[in-house]
Amino acid sequence: MEEKYTVSARKFRPQTFSEIIGQPHIVRTLTNAFKNKRIAHAYIFSGTRGVGKTSTARIVAKALNCEKGPTAQPCLECNNCKEIANGSSIDVMEIDGASNRGIDNIRELRENARFTPSNSTYKIYIIDEVHQITKDAFNALLKTLEEPPDHVIFLFATTELTKVPDTILSRCQSFEYRSISTRDIIDQLNKIAKIEGITIAPGASLLLARRANGSMRDAQSLFDQAVAYGGGSLKEADVKIVLGMVDRSLVFGVMDAVIGRDRPAVLKLSQAAAYQGASPMLFVEDLSKTVRDIMMAKVSPDNLDDFEDDEREKLKTWAELLDYDEIHRYFQALSETLNQMKYSPQPEINLEMGLLKLTGKRGVVKIDDLIDRVSKAQTTIEKSGVTPLSDYDPAPGGLASPPPPITPLAEAKEPGAKVDANVEPAPFEIEKSIYAAPPPDLLDALKSARPMLGGILESSTVHVSGDTVVITVRSLFDRARLEESDNKKSIENLAGEVLGKKVRAVVKFADEKKSLNSDNRKKKEAIITDKRRHMEDTPIIQKAIDIFNGEITNIKTINDI
């Protein structure tokens, strides 16, 4: 009779402590515990999937109930070891925490725990995904777990340790499993391939190990899938087809184009990936991992053993070109693109737009660089002999005569008016005669493009003064809405298109009952206009505006501060 096929994850499951891969800290601790007869009554194994938690629990069960035990090296030949290995031992009960999570299940466990084992030294309970047990069930287990019968051992496994109550954790010895390294996974896959008589290319095992993300079980499952496709010989191309992966050179090519800000190349390569049938989401994941590898190359360039020589050199080159902030920005942008693709009907478009976005400006200018640039500009201006704005020609008698203080329009008061510190300064009403009426199509464009703002603009007054669009609203709520950065920017962009020039939007609050005296307001505006013109003509201020890409929004004298 032909032998039944068994998947690699089961066929090559570790049977002894020495066969556990990638967890030396756990192997050493448990081995010494058995050698020194310091065996606890409860253990909890935590970590990601496929790293050996349940396998370790079974090995511990064999080490405890082996006919030659308890021993750190179970014989694997006695009836107890064989029954535990094939899951038929009546003294070792494996329980799924997800389907046996209620209080009634735990009460039944407590009742059975009182009875001595049938033909073994210990009665062992292995509870997988123990975090799935309900709160009431955990509470029912507490007393038994704290003072169990001498013949009972609890072995828990979980992928989410944080969901296990502290009262349970404090009664167990806890072992946290690490993700298995790429190198360890490659070695194990090569070993399995040799035993199975399968030829596996180095690049194929590397791709499988990387896709497994530290899980040996995932790697073995992917290995079986690839072998079914490729037959007795497993090539790198076969693995790429089975996993829907993009060629590594294509991933590096896109990364090279992004860093070089070569937009045509980025678009061409991303489309080439689509033509290869690659999953857009997997492609972005590969790019994110590459960005992570660049960061590792920058932080620890000597710790790149899992890469081929040419890949290692490429990562180091990129790491020298980019600073930490830029690498982090790439990773954030790719993560954002990946999240958008999850809910997009056309993820290919999100991929293209996300990659093109990465080719934009390189990060932000550091504040130290800005300060240095301003200092150099100031030094240049001083050498040119230009008098700074803060210096004034002395009046007769040697006394300085600074310009009169400027009061902001919104803070001006009627002559003789009593000032109430608890009341905000009254707003003012805009006189239509001062401003030109807007083109008829300006309001139509604003209302049609942003319907949400249409109601506000309908009840507001819009005027144009030079390169300024003044919107006078009747409520503080309307003013707050229009002054939001996105809304204000939209108004400025649409108005600029209609008027054919760059404009800025100013939102005013008009209250007819508390309007300012028109003549007084005009005088204030004249003063502000004169001072603004003076400041705009001052070289050092103009230089600062150019450096920071800013604008003058308010003018105050020293007396106003």
- Residue range 382-440, pLDDT digits in tens: 666 555 544 444 444 444 444 455 444 444 444 444 444 444 444 434 344 344 555 66
Residue 382 lies in a domain: no
User: Could you identify the residue written with the tokens 């020298």?
Assistant: 320
CATH number at residue 521: 3.30.300.180
pLDDT band at 242 (very low <50, low <70, confident <90, very high): confident
Q: The whole model's pTM is what?
A: 0.58
Question: What's the CATH code of the domain at 147?
Answer: 3.40.50.300
State both tokens at 223. Answer: 């290995």
CB atoms within 10 A of CB 59: 25
Residues 207 and 259 in one domain: no
Residue 438 lies in a domain: yes
Q: What's the alpha-carbon Rg for the chain, to the nearest Å?
A: 37
E strand or H helix at 509, and its extent?
strand 504-509
Q: Would 119 be classed as within a structural domain? A: yes
Query: Domain check: are 116 and 265 in the same one?
Result: no
Strands 468-473 and 461-465: antiparallel
Question: Do residues 17 and 166 share a domain?
Answer: yes
Residues 231 and 326 in one domain: no
Task: Read off the pLDDT of each residue in 141-157 and give the average, rounded to a whole number.
Answer: 90
Same structural domain, 149 and 39: yes
Q: What distance, in Å, lies between the first and last C-alpha atoms of the chain?
A: 96
In a domain, 374, yes or no: no
pLDDT reading at 8 higher than 50:
yes
Q: Is residue 419 part of a domain?
A: no
Q: Is 174 helix (H, G, I), strand (E, B) or coil?
A: strand
Residues 187 and 276 in one domain: no
**pLDDT score of 460 more than 90:** no
Domain range enclosing 222? 182-243
Average pLDDT of span 115-132: 91
Tokens representing residue 558 in the block: 């020293």
One domain for residues 63 and 100: yes
- 460 and 443 in one domain? yes
Per the domain annotation, does 331 fall within a domain? yes
Same domain, 353 and 455: no
Q: What is the CATH number of the domain that holds 230?
A: 1.10.8.60
Distance of CA 489 to the CA centre of its chain: 28
Q: Cα–Cα distance between 358 and 163 in angstroms, integer?
A: 38
pLDDT at residue number 512: 45
249 and 265 in contact (C-beta within 8 Å)?
no
Inside any domain, residue 51: yes
Residue 516 has pLDDT above 50, yes or no: no
Q: What is the DSSP letter of 178?
A: P
Instruction: Look at residue 417 and give its three-state secondary structure.
Output: coil
Domain of 316, CATH number, reads 1.20.272.10
**Residues 304, 169 share a domain:** no
- pLDDT tens across 461-475, in order? 777 877 888 888 777
CA dist., res. 546 & res. 6, Å (int):
71
**pLDDT at res. 484:** 81
Instruction: Output 274 or 313, whichever has higher pLDDT.
Output: 313
User: What total number of domains does the chain contain?
Assistant: 4
Q: Which two tokens stand for residue 365?
A: 């200018």
Cis preceding linkage at 70, omega within 30: yes
Tell me which of 145, 176, 207 is where a domain ends: 176
The three-state DSSP-derived secondary structure of 51-111 is CCHHHHHHHHHHHHHCCCCCCCCCCCCCHHHHHHHHCCCCCEEEEECCCCCCHHHHHHHHH
Query: Do 231 and 293 belong together in one domain?
Result: no
Residue 401 lies in a domain: no
Distance from C-alpha of 199 to C-alpha of 226, rounded to nearest angstrom: 12
